[in-house]
Amino acid sequence: MSAPAAYVDGIGLLGPGLCDWPATSDVLIGKVPFASATTVLPAPQGLSGAERRRVSALVKLTLAVGLEATERARADPAALPAVFTSSGGDGPTCHEICRVLASADRQLSPTRFHNSVHNATAGYWGIATGATAASNALCAHDGSFAAGLLESLCQVAVERRSVLLIAYDSGYPEPLRGVRPIPDAFAVALVLAPEVGDRSLARLEACCSEARSDRMSDAGLEALRASTPAARCLPLLTQLARRASGRTVLDYLEDLRLAVEVSPCR
Amino acid sequence: MTTLALTSFTVTSAIGRGLDATLDSLRAQRTGLAPCAFESVVLDTCVGEVAGVDDAPLPRALREFECRNNRLAWLGLAQDGFCEAVERSAERYGRGRIGVFLGTSTSGILETELAYRHLDPLTGALPRGFLYRGAHNNFSVAAFAQRALGLSGPAVVISTACSSSAKAFASASRAIEAGVIDAALVGGVDTLCLTTLYGFHSLQLVARTPCRPFDTARDGISIGEAAAFALLERPGAKLDADAVLLLGTGESSDAYHMSAPPPDGRGARAAMLAALASAALAPEDIHYINFHGTGTPSNDEAEACAVASVLGRAVPGSSTKGATGHTLGAAGALEAAICALGLRHDLMPAGVNTTQVDPTLPVSYLLENRRGRLSRVMSNSFGFGGSNCSLILARAG
């Protein structure tokens, strides 16, 4: 099997108790203990007042990590194609639509309806940053991060241009929470480039694998990884934080994993 | 991009199960749109419902995927010897070397809508047996197709609203070109549900009568449902003259508004130009365009503007949504299949229901079927969030 590859030029991250990539990196290398706390969402940048009031928590979440990653990579967000990937999309919006449709008055809010599409985050990313290149919106249940990484690496390999990957998830309200318990919002963004540059942290090369996926040694981080599809990236991020070379295996499908060969650049 | 072949394809929509029925309807310029009698929906609109989707449950081994969307997928896969073609491909390349790339906008959300009517009165919990992974989650249709066909390679759902299954062709092409897989099941499946029927109604985008794209009196969309699939692989050394090829894909974002295109259609224009560049073709190489053509006043106007600026005003075109309805996440694959049928059978399908083409739109819109050899065609798909995708398909000879 041929293995598509790319260089990680920038990382952005927000999650429970994790406020950005440097703070997360310190936790992943064991310098600071992991202390889970409600994910804090910053005010959305780049949107007008009316749009700021209409956007969902997920838009704030994805804008924040996307802008952090592009800033760290010193890349222009408006110039990058983007790959968004999420298991459940906008849980509160989905819940509210189903609630209204089950009631006597089925009048939906038009804003809520257009916010319900799986690519709403990608749409608002374009509006906020002015990015007019291709954007994608993927889903592969628990393997959504791996599916997004694979799509991004294929884009970098074939188109020979940098890509922004944003993987994210947030919880559903009840009753969907009862069947799909995702505890809190989590998002990670990677700027992936075809050539090594002065911001490059590591080279990634991915291929499908049947090996067992890696777990986190810290119980709290493992709970986060196991409960949140987007956080299935944590073993890879740990390797990037440690600047360690070697292979890490990520959850993808029921019978398939994604093995990522990591080679640090500096 | 590297040219790929659609070595097998199939389509099921309101105008027919499988290719022969679809071709018959296209030749007869028949619409599949009829007044909405779906579920308990009370809306004065027409829909393109596929007959018999709920007639039979899924086979026992696939029960964990039970929902209307996967039942339509199963019905679609059963047509035109498609499963057998995938099986031959699996034997040739290996089951792990065939990827699954399917587009859907709402997956099995209908089952969740129905389940919310039956929450436990005491606890508020969903009914027992609710299938989150197999029905509700957007990925369910890809997981279902992968299991049903016995494939074990990469799989993903692309959910970019109404461009979803056109973009599935683009993602699959890259995965083949990158060497990750040898062949791909691509396509789209979307089924009627209350979210889209009442949602588009809330945006005042739904027509009362069967939709009339590009008509002076066009007043909105008619929602439909469809399952369309293609098997995409590198062309063999010997190709039949009527083999259908994928020559190019182009994608762009509007970066403008969540549910409306910029009036000049610049995002659509960028996608079409990218598709031409990817196919290394000039505008005059395109002989027919299948418009996205939803039938809303502003969408058709923006698209006409964009098409005229890229291909000129003279290229014959039509929207087949007057026949099938707007099948949302399945529209890209459905219309790619209609284009493939047109290439194979020398047919440019008319835009049915439309009687008076809007004279302000700079297009050559087909009100009657046109016969004649087609070599290369373009199909447009645009979605909410400003997600655009254009595909270029061709005859091999």
Rounded to an integer, what distance in angstroms lies between the CA atom of residue B119 and that of residue B81? 41
Grouping H, G, I as helix, E, B as strand and the rest as coil, residue B316 is strand
Interface check A147 vs B, CB under 8 A: yes
Interface check A87 vs B, CB under 8 A: yes
**Chain B residues inside the 8 Å CB shell of A150:** 154, 156, 175, 180
Cα separations in angstroms, B388 against A61, A240, B167, B276, B383: 24, 34, 8, 14, 6
**CB distance A259 to A209 below 8 Å:** yes
**Chain A residues inside the 8 Å CB shell of B252:** 132-134
Rounded to an integer, what distance in angstroms lies between the CA atom of residue B92 and that of residue B231? 13
SS3 content of chain B, % helix, strand, coil (to 5): 35, 20, 40
Rounded to an integer, what distance in angstroms lies between the CA atom of residue A139 and that of residue B101? 10
**CB distance B225 to B107 below 8 Å:** no
Determine, for residues B139 and A141 on separate chains, whether the beta-carbon distance falls below 8 Å. yes
Largest distance between two CA atoms of chain B: 66
Q: Which of A4, A81, A106 sits opposite B180 (nearest CB)?
A: A4
pTM for the structure as a whole: 0.98
CATH among 3.40.47.10, 3.30.70.890, 3.40.50.300, 3.20.20.80 for A5-199: 3.40.47.10
Classify residue B372 by its DSSP letter.
S
Q: Give the mean pLDDT of chain A.
A: 96
**What is the percent of chain A where pLDDT is above 70?**
100
- Chain A closest-CA separation from residue B369 CA (Å): 34
Classify residue B232 by its DSSP letter.
E
**Chain A residues inside the 8 Å CB shell of B161:** 117-119
Cα separations in angstroms, B25 against A250, B229, B353: 47, 19, 13
Interface check B93 vs A, CB under 8 A: no
**Best mutation target, A204, A253, A256, to test chain B (most B CBs within 10 A):** A253
- Chain A closest-CA separation from residue B139 CA (Å): 5
Q: According to the model, what pLDDT value does residue B228 have?
A: 98
**CB distance A174 to A239 below 8 Å:** no
Q: Measured between alpha carbons, how far apart are the two ends of chain B, in Å?
A: 19
Rounded to an integer, what distance in angstroms lies between the CA atom of residue A214 and that of residue A235? 6
Interface check A253 vs B, CB under 8 A: yes
Q: According to the model, what pLDDT value does residue B236 have?
A: 87
Q: According to the model, what pLDDT value does residue B52 have?
A: 96
Rounded to an integer, what distance in angstroms lies between the CA atom of residue A23 and that of residue A21? 5
Q: According to the model, what pLDDT value does residue B186 have?
A: 98
How many helices (H) and strands (E) in chain A? 10, 8
**Chain B residues inside the 8 Å CB shell of A178:** 125-126
Q: Which of B109, B156, B253 sits opposite A126 (nearest CB)?
A: B253
The count of structural domains within chain B is: 1
The residues of B carrying an active-site annotation are: 162, 292, 326
Question: Residue A55: pLDDT band by 50, 70, 90 thresholds?
Answer: confident
Q: According to the model, what pLDDT value does residue A19 have?
A: 97
**Chain A residues inside the 8 Å CB shell of B202:** 107-110, 113
pLDDT at A69 over 60: yes
Residue of B384, B382, B42 lying closest to B197 (CA atoms): B42
User: Average pLDDT of A154-159?
Assistant: 97
Q: CB pairs under 8 A, 24+ apart, for B41-46? A: B41/B194, B41/B197, B41/B198, B43/B197, B43/B198, B43/B201, B43/B206, B44/B208, B45/B197, B45/B201, B45/B206, B45/B207, B45/B208, B45/B222, B45/B223, B46/B207, B46/B208, B46/B209, B46/B210, B46/B211, B46/B222, B46/B325
Q: According to the model, what pLDDT value does residue A91 have?
A: 96
Rounded to an integer, what distance in angstroms lies between the CA atom of residue B72 and that of residue B379? 23
**Residue written as tokens 């002015």?**
A130
**Chain A residues inside the 8 Å CB shell of B1:** 158
- Alpha helix (H) ranges present in B312-397? 321-324, 331-345
**CB distance B54 to B225 below 8 Å:** no
Residues 34-63 of A with CB under 8 A from B: none
> Residue B194: closest CA among chain A residues belongs to which residue?
A101
Residues 39-58 of B with CB under 8 A from A: none
CATH of the domain at B373: 3.40.47.10
Determine, for residues A119 and B179 on separate chains, whether the beta-carbon distance falls below 8 Å. no
Q: According to the model, what pLDDT value does residue A46 have?
A: 80
Interface check A107 vs B, CB under 8 A: yes
- If phi > 0 it is left, if psi is from -120 to 50 it is alpha, else beta; for residue B325 that is left
pLDDT in tens, A85-119: 999 999 999 999 999 999 999 999 999 999 999 99
**Chain B residues inside the 8 Å CB shell of A256:** 96, 152-154
User: For residue A40, which amino acid is it?
Assistant: V
Q: Is B276 exposed, middle or buried (0-12, 13-18, 19+ CB in 10 A)?
A: buried
**Best mutation target, B159, B177, B192, to test chain A (most A CBs within 10 A):** B159
pLDDT at A80 over 80: yes
User: Average pLDDT of A155-161?
Assistant: 97
- Chain A closest-CA separation from residue B190 CA (Å): 13
> Residue B121: closest CA among chain A residues belongs to which residue?
A175
User: Average pLDDT of A118-137?
Assistant: 97
Determine, for residues A107 and B198 on separate chains, whether the beta-carbon distance falls below 8 Å. yes
Rounded to an integer, what distance in angstroms lies between the CA atom of residue B76 and that of residue B69? 11
Determine, for residues B180 and A132 on separate chains, whether the beta-carbon distance falls below 8 Å. no
**Residue written as tokens 């599409």?**
A117
pLDDT at A54 over 80: no
- If phi > 0 it is left, if psi is from -120 to 50 it is alpha, else beta; for residue B346 that is left
Q: According to the model, what pLDDT value does residue A47 have?
A: 80
In terms of residue numbers, what domain contains B331?
Answer: 4-395
Determine if the peptide bond prior to A175 is cis (ω within 30°). Answer: yes
pLDDT at A266 over 80: no
Q: What's the token pair of residue A58?
A: 């997920």
State the ipTM, two decimals. Answer: 0.98
List chain B residues with pLDDT less than 50: none
Extents of the domains making up chain A: 5-199
Cα separations in angstroms, B89 against B92, B97, B205, B396: 5, 9, 42, 20
Rounded to an integer, what distance in angstroms lies between the CA atom of residue B108 and that of residue B142? 12
**Chain B residues inside the 8 Å CB shell of A144:** 139
CB-defined contacts A:B, below 8 A: 221
B215: enclosing H helix or E strand: none
- Chain A closest-CA separation from residue B30 CA (Å): 31
pLDDT at A1 over 70: no
Grouping H, G, I as helix, E, B as strand and the rest as coil, residue A257 is strand
Residues 164-223 of B with CB under 8 A from A: 167, 170-171, 174-175, 177-180, 194-195, 198-204
Stated length of chain B = 397
Question: Residue A48: pLDDT band by 50, 70, 90 thresholds?
Answer: confident
Q: Which of A120, A147, A159 sits opposite B385 (nearest CB)?
A: A120
